[in-house]
């Protein structure tokens, strides 16, 4: 009887309504990694079109303001280097040049050089192997007396090439016995120093040649003891063309 009951219960279960069962979660299979990657490339956007250039419209709408500071010249800084110069003492030649410059300065500072006028008188023809006669004429246009030395006259001949003639015998200034050492010339007075020298004894002058003679009176330091402040301390030159016959 028990077996018959169990069998009947089994048959009832087979033909009975289906029994609902609860759903169970299933695990997904892992996805394999791909060998390739996807690269996204952004496309370059085209530049916006430039506006058309309209000179008239642009000039009307554009205002340019120029300030005075923009056009003024710029002041650039200047750089100066410090230089230390060590000077040696002046040599003999420089000392001589300095003394000569001082003498010239003294000569220029003496007013007698401007107010005492000098002229020369000599014949343009010189006979061969004869004495050269020449006169120095001084006129005092100063307002005071002036003392002129009679020992500082000289002449130098030059050839046609403007070169000094060969010196045969070098002579120094000599005392002119026809005149005192210093001659006083009063204001407005004219005095003539007459001289006569053998030019052929001193220079190699050729017969038939033309020469340029430079006549000079030069005194920078010889002063008259009686009136040293009134001594004529100047140099003046005059030129004369002379033909030797």
Question: Domain map of the chain by residue range?
Answer: 116-244
Which of these ranges, 44-48, 116-120, 146-150, 182-186, has the smallest mean pLDDT? 44-48
User: Which of 2.60.40.10, 1.20.1560.10, 2.30.42.10, 1.10.238.10 would CATH assign to domain 116-244?
Assistant: 2.60.40.10
Q: Which residue has the higher pLDDT, 35 or 154?
A: 154
How far is the C-alpha of 234 from the C-alpha of 148, rounded, in Å?
10
How far is the C-alpha of 170 from the C-alpha of 89, rounded, in Å?
34
Whole-model pTM: value is 0.55
Average pLDDT over residues 75-101: 70
Which of these ranges, 63-72, 153-162, 165-174, 204-213, has the smallest mean pLDDT? 63-72
CA-wise closest residue to 179 among 158, 161, 198, 195? 195
How far is the C-alpha of 60 from the C-alpha of 78, rounded, in Å?
44
Name the pLDDT band for 184 (thresholds 50, 70, 90): very high
Helix (H, G, I), strand (E, B) or coil at 88: coil
How far is the C-alpha of 21 from the C-alpha of 32, rounded, in Å?
34
How many Å separate Cα 209 from the centre of its chain? 47
Digit-coded pLDDT (tens) for 17-65: 454 454 555 555 555 555 555 555 566 667 777 666 666 655 555 566 6
Digit-coded pLDDT (tens) for 96-125: 888 777 766 655 566 688 899 999 999 999
Tokens of 241: 């063309």
Instruction: State what percent of residues in the chain have pLDDT above 90.
Output: 38
């Amino acid at each position: 009887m028990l077996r018959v009951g169990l069998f009947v219960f089994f048959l009832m279960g087979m033909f009975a309504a289906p029994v609902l069962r609860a759903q169970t979660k299933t695990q997904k299979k892992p996805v394999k990694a791909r060998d390739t990657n996807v690269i996204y490339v952004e496309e370059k956007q085209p530049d916006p079109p430039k506006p058309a250039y309209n000179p008239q419209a642009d000039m009307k709408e554009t205002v340019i303001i120029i300030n005075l500071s923009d056009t003024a010249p710029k002041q650039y800084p200047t750089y100066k280097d410090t230089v230390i110069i060590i000077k040696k003492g002046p040599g003999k030649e420089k000392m001589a040049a300095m003394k000569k410059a001082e003498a010239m300065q003294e000569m220029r500072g003496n007013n007698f050089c401007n107010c005492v006028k000098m002229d020369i008188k000599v014949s343009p023809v010189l006979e061969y192997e004869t004495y050269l006669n020449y006169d120095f004429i001084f006129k005092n246009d100063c307002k005071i007396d002036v003392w002129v030395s009679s020992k500082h006259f000289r002449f130098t001949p030059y050839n046609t090439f403007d070169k000094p003639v060969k010196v045969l015998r070098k002579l120094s200034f000599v005392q002119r016995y026809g005149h005192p050492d210093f001659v006083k010339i009063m204001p407005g007075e004219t005095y003539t120093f007459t001289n006569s020298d053998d030019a052929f004894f001193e220079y190699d002058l050729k017969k038939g040649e033309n020469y340029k003679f430079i006549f000079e009176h030069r005194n920078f330091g010889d002063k008259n003891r009686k009136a040293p402040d009134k001594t004529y301390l100047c140099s003046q030159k005059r030129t004369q063309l002379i033909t030797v016959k």
